[in-house]
Chains A and B, each alone.
Chain A
Amino acid sequence: MAERTLTKVLPLRTAVSTSAGLASAAVNFLATVDVAIYVGGRSAWLAILVAGALIMLTASNFSELNGLFPSAAAIRVWTRRGLNDQLSLVSSLVYATTVVFVIAADAFVLGHVFQAAVPAVPGIVWVVVILGVTAVFNLRGVRVAGLVQDTNAFFLLGTLAVISIIVIASGPAMPVGSLFQMGPRWFQGVALGVFIFVGFEWVSPLAEEFQDARAIPRGMYMALGLIAVAFGLFALALADVFPHPASLSSSLIPQLLVGERALGPLGFWWMAVVTLTTAMTTFNGGLVSASRFVYALARERSLPPSWARLNARLVPARALLGLTALALVLALAVYATRQYTLLIDAGAGVESLMYALTTILIIRLRRREPNRPRPYRAFWYPVLPVTVGLVFVGLAAGALTTTAIPGGVPWALIFVLGLTAVATGYVMFGLPRKRREARKREPTLSHVNRAPKA
Chain B
Amino acid sequence: MDALEKVLEGFVERCNKNPRLIAMNRDWTREVAIRATDTGEAFWIRSAAGQLSAGKGTATGPADLEIRADRDVLEAIFSGQMAPTEPYNQGDLLVRGSQDDLLRLDVITLMIWGE
Binding site for B on A (CB under 8 A): 1, 3-8, 69-73, 76-78, 80-81, 205-206, 208-209, 292, 296-297, 299-300, 305, 308, 310, 314, 443, 445, 448-451, 453-454
Q: Contact check, A310 vs B107: say whether CB atoms are below 8 A apart.
A: yes
B103 at the interface (CB under 8 A from A): yes
> Would you call A7 and B63 a contact (CB within 8 A)?
yes
Whether B83 contacts A299 by the Cβ 8 Å rule is yes
Partner of B91, one of A8, A77, A443: A77
B57 on the interface (CB 8 Å rule)? Answer: no
Q: Measured between alpha carbons, how far is A332 from B96 in the docked complex, in Å?
A: 40
A451 to B11, CA, bound (A): 11
A453 to B, closest residue via Cβ: B80
Interface size of B in residues (CB-CB distance below 8 Å):
45
Known: A77-B89, A305-B115. A451 touches B18 (CB 8 A): yes
Contacting residues, chain B, for A297 (C-beta < 8 A): 89
The answer to whether A72 and B20 touch (CB under 8 A), given A80-B90, A305-B115, A314-B104, is no
- Bitwise interface map of B from 77 to 107 toward A, beta carbon under 8 Å scored 1, else 0: 0011101011011110011111100111011
A205 and B65 CA atoms in complex are apart in Å by: 16
Nearest 4 A/B pairs, CB to CB: A299-B85, A5-B62, A77-B91, A305-B115
Is there an interface contact between B91 and A71, defined as CB atoms closer than 8 Å? Answer: yes
Enumerate chain A residues within 8 angstroms of B104, measured Cβ to Cβ.
314
Interface residues of B (CB under 8 A from A): 7, 10, 14, 18-20, 31, 33, 35, 37, 40, 58, 62-66, 68, 79-81, 83, 85-86, 88-91, 94-99, 102-104, 106-107, 110-115
The complex places the Cα of A297 from the Cα of B68 at a distance, in Å, of: 21
Whether the pair A73, B98 counts as a contact (CB closer than 8 A) is: no
In the bound assembly, the distance between CA atoms of A208 and B68 in angstroms comes to: 12
Given A7-B64, A209-B99, CB of A449 within 8 Å of CB of B80: no
A77's partner among B68, B90, B99 (CB-CB below 8 A) is: B90
- Minimal Cβ-Cβ distance residue in A for B87: A300
Judging by beta carbons under 8 Å apart, are A445 and B89 in contact? no
Selected from B10, B95, B98, B103, the residue in CB contact (under 8 A) with A314 is: B103
Q: Nearest residue in B to A297 (C-beta to C-beta)?
A: B89
Which one of B62, B63, B65, B85 has the greatest number of beta carbons of chain A within 10 Å?
B85
In the bound complex, CA of A21 to CA of B66 (Å)? 28
How far, in angstroms, from A1 to B70 measured CA to CA in the complex? Answer: 13
Given A4-B33, A208-B99, A299-B106, also A448-B111 (CB < 8 A):
yes
A299 cross-chain contacts in B, Cβ below 8 A: 83, 85-86, 106, 110, 115
Residues of A within 8 A of B81 (CB): 453-454
Query: Nearest B residue to A206 by beta-carbon distance?
Result: B99
Q: Is the CB of A451 within 8 A of B88?
A: no
Partner of A454, one of B62, B80, B99: B80
Neighbouring B residues of A81 by C-beta, 8 Å: 90-91
Chain A residues, CB < 8 A from B94: 69-71, 208
Known A5-B62, A209-B99; contact A448-B114, beta-carbon cutoff 8 A = yes
A448–B20 touching, CB < 8 Å: yes
Q: Say whether, besides A69-B94, A71-B95, A448-B20, A4 and B66 are in contact (CB < 8 Å).
A: yes
A450 touches B114 (CB 8 A): yes
CB contact under 8 A between A443 and B114, given known A71-B88, A209-B99: yes
Contact call B102/A6, Cβ cutoff below 8 A: no
Contact B97 A6 (CB under 8 A): yes
- Do B66 and A6 touch across chains, with their CB atoms under 8 A apart? yes
Contact of B99 with A73 in the complex, beta carbons under 8 Å: no
Q: How far is the CA of A130 from the CA of B71 in the complex (A)?
A: 47
CB pair A8–B99 under 8 Å, yes or no, is no
Assembled-state Cα–Cα distance A355/B79 (Å)? 39
Nearest A-chain residue to B99, judged by Cβ? A72
| From B35, B81, B98, residue with most partner A Cβ within 10 Å | B98
B3 nearest CB across to chain A (Å): 13
**Structural contact, A300 and B99, CB atoms closer than 8 A:** no
* Alpha-carbon gap, A292 to B89, bound state (A): 12
Within the assembled complex, what's the spacing in Å between the Cα atoms of A209 and B88?
Answer: 15
A134 to chain B, nearest CB (A): 19
B83 touches A300 (CB 8 A): yes
A438's closest neighbor in chain B, by CB?
Answer: B115
Report the nearest A residue to B14, measured CB to CB.
A451
30 examples of A-B residue contacts, CB within 8 angstroms: A1-B35, A3-B96, A5-B62, A6-B63, A7-B31, A7-B63, A7-B64, A8-B64, A69-B94, A71-B94, A71-B95, A76-B89, A77-B89, A77-B91, A78-B91, A208-B102, A209-B99, A292-B103, A296-B88, A299-B83, A299-B110, A300-B83, A308-B115, A443-B115, A445-B115, A448-B110, A448-B111, A449-B18, A451-B14, A454-B7
